[in-house]
Amino acid sequence: MRISRAAWVAGALVGGAALCGTGWDYRPLAPDPPEAVAPGSAETKRLERALRRLRPSGRYIVIDRGASRLWLKRGDEVLMEAVCSAGSGRLLRDPQGDRRWVFDTPRGYFEVRDKIVNPVWRKPDWAFIEEGLPVPEDPGERIEYGVLGRFALPFGDGYMIHGTLYERLLGSPVTHGCIRLGRVDLARLYASVEIGTPIFIF
């Protein structure tokens, strides 16, 4: 059977038109029907109370890793804003073995687990490997005083908010996962939070 030229043309036109009329159809969102919103109903109030209960009732810390900023807040009120440093995201391999470390600050919800004055750093293996030094056998050789600043606020898994000797690097992601703060901001934060204060890191 031969298909005439006219049929080909007609088919192409119909197919082309169909293709032109095919796509994602963008339009503004339709509002919820009024009955779905039900403002002021007992059920709505109950849900709003449940939502409020999820929020911290007192002070809490918010840390933006990308912007290197830390805020102390209560409700929507900002009590304090500081420049900080978060994890560098860098990778370190142990040249002598299979171990590897990624220096990220974790995201998520945490709480202040402790409040430490004059914290002492027990240097982990990676700190020696990073410096190109042998990992010492003697635990006493791991102790370093003063490098974490005057205060530390641990929030789990070895991560802390602490001070730094290198305040000029604040504002850049250069740490091994902890949050560094300047001396003045650290003292103010330490005085303003309690054990259990929520920390939100994103």
Bridging pattern class, strands 198-201 and 59-64: parallel
Does residue 50 interact with other proteins by CB under 8 A? yes
- C-alpha to C-alpha distance for 42 and 34, rounded to whole angstroms: 16
- Which residue stretch of 2-10, 53-61, 112-120, 179-187 sits at the interface with other proteins (rule: CB under 8 A)? 53-61
Q: How many residues bind other proteins (CB under 8 A)?
A: 58
- C-alpha to C-alpha distance for 181 and 32, rounded to whole angstroms: 45
User: Considering the complex, what minimum distance in angstroms separates the CB of residue 46 from other proteins?
Assistant: 8
Nearest to other proteins of 68, 151 (CB atom): 68
Element of type H or E holding 130: helix 125-131
Q: Is 143 exposed, middle or buried (0-12, 13-18, 19+ CB in 10 A)?
A: exposed
Does residue 25 interact with other proteins by CB under 8 A? yes
- Which residue stretch of 1-9, 104-112, 146-154, 177-185 sits at the interface with other proteins (rule: CB under 8 A)? 104-112
Report which of 112, 107, 141, 108 is spatially closest to residue 124, judged by C-alpha positions: 141
Element of type H or E holding 150: none
185: how many CB neighbours lie within 10 A of its CB? 21
Does residue 97 interact with other proteins by CB under 8 A? no
Selected from 119, 149, 163, 173, the binder of other proteins by CB under 8 A is: 173
Report which of 151, 157, 188 is spatially closest to residue 87, judged by C-alpha positions: 157
- Which residue stretch of 28-36, 143-151, 152-160, 181-189 sits at the interface with other proteins (rule: CB under 8 A)? 28-36
Selected from 80, 116, 147, 169, the binder of other proteins by CB under 8 A is: 169
Residues at the contact surface with other proteins, assessed by CB under 8 A: 17-19, 21-32, 36-38, 43-44, 46-48, 50-56, 60, 62, 64, 66-67, 76, 88-93, 95, 102, 107-109, 129-132, 169, 172-174, 198, 200, 202
